[in-house]
Amino acid sequence: MTDIAEGEVLTDVHRGVGRILLNRPKALNALTTGMVAAIDGALAAWEHTPLSAVVIASTSVKAFCAGGDIRTIREHSLAGDAEASERFFASEYRLNARIAEYPVPVVSLIDGMCMGGGLGLSVHGTFRVVTERAVLAMPETGIGFFPDIGASYFLPRLPGAMGMYLGLTGHRLDAADALYAGLATHFVPTDRLGAVADALADSPGAPVDVVLNRLADRSPVGASRLAEVRGEMDWAFGAPTLGEIEKRLRHLDTVWASDALIALESASPQSLEITHNLLARGRQTLRECLAAELTLTRTTIRTPDFLEGVRAALVDKDRSPIWEREAQGGQTPPA
């Protein structure tokens, strides 16, 4: 993981609007330490500049941001370089907090994939614009990790048991689901997305919400599939334990419940336990949640499940991880 992000993050101020462009398209804008530092540095430099808004967007047609460069974190763990991993997570979480506390509205333009760290760049800002190509998810339990970047703050604050469902299963949301969940605030078609920064610059005195609504198309939220299963979701994932969640899903015996069970059964058992505990107590402040997550990263990234999960998903790409508990015949590994 390089600490230099030359050309991978493009920043400027255009007619009173700060613009940050993620420009690592071949890696789907997976965040490196250098990229995080470049974004954080730009925001820090602009804090006392009279801006009307800051826009975060991507040069990739496929992704806003696929998350943190977790494959490199695995390499650090294998090499015993805890300092490099600590530097990445600590700087990423500081950036998440800065975005949440920024003095002017931060507007993220989510076109394509937005996973993990991509949500850290967007959901803490004031406005999250999605297009018809947007796909949002926190898929960490499938790679032996846990939903971080402040997810233990924002997931428990979603309606009902939606946050627990999304955090445990890694379910992918389209634009309609993202708007229904509240992870997105506006829907703007892809062909109008490039006009957002100019529209904000043209109307510096207007509320950002009003400017975005002028560009918005009819919201697809009525087509949300999450809305259709909301009752089942709240009942099943509102259960107090993982075992009870699985029991309720089996009792429902619906297609949605079956899919949710498959997702849980394919995830790392260790990650499910960490995530459930984290989200169950996540009603703290954002900074407290980020501090707790940083502490968890130090141990989690050294576990066999993390090394195996990232191997299966991002290195060998066989999508067939063998979790430690499975390798031990179903026995719970010692803490």
Residues designated catalytic: 68, 117, 140, 148
d(CA 183, CA 208): 17
Tokens of residue 18, six digits? 């700060």
Distance of CA 89 to the CA centre of its chain: 14
Q: Do 33 and 3 contact (CB within 8 A), yes or no?
A: yes
Q: Exposure of 243 by Cβ count < 10 A (0-12 exposed, 13-18 middle, 19+ buried)?
A: exposed
R_g of the chain, CA atoms, integer Å = 20
Instruction: Residue 307: name the closest of 263, 268, 262, 264 by CA.
Output: 268
3-state secondary structure of 323: coil
Would you put residue 301 in left (φ > 0), alpha (ψ -120 to 50) or beta?
Answer: alpha
- What letters, b where the CB count within 10 A reaches 16 and e where it falls short, cover 305-332? bbbbbbbbbeeeeeeebebbbeeeeeee
Which spans in 216-303 are helix H? 225-228, 230-237, 242-252, 255-266, 269-280, 286-300
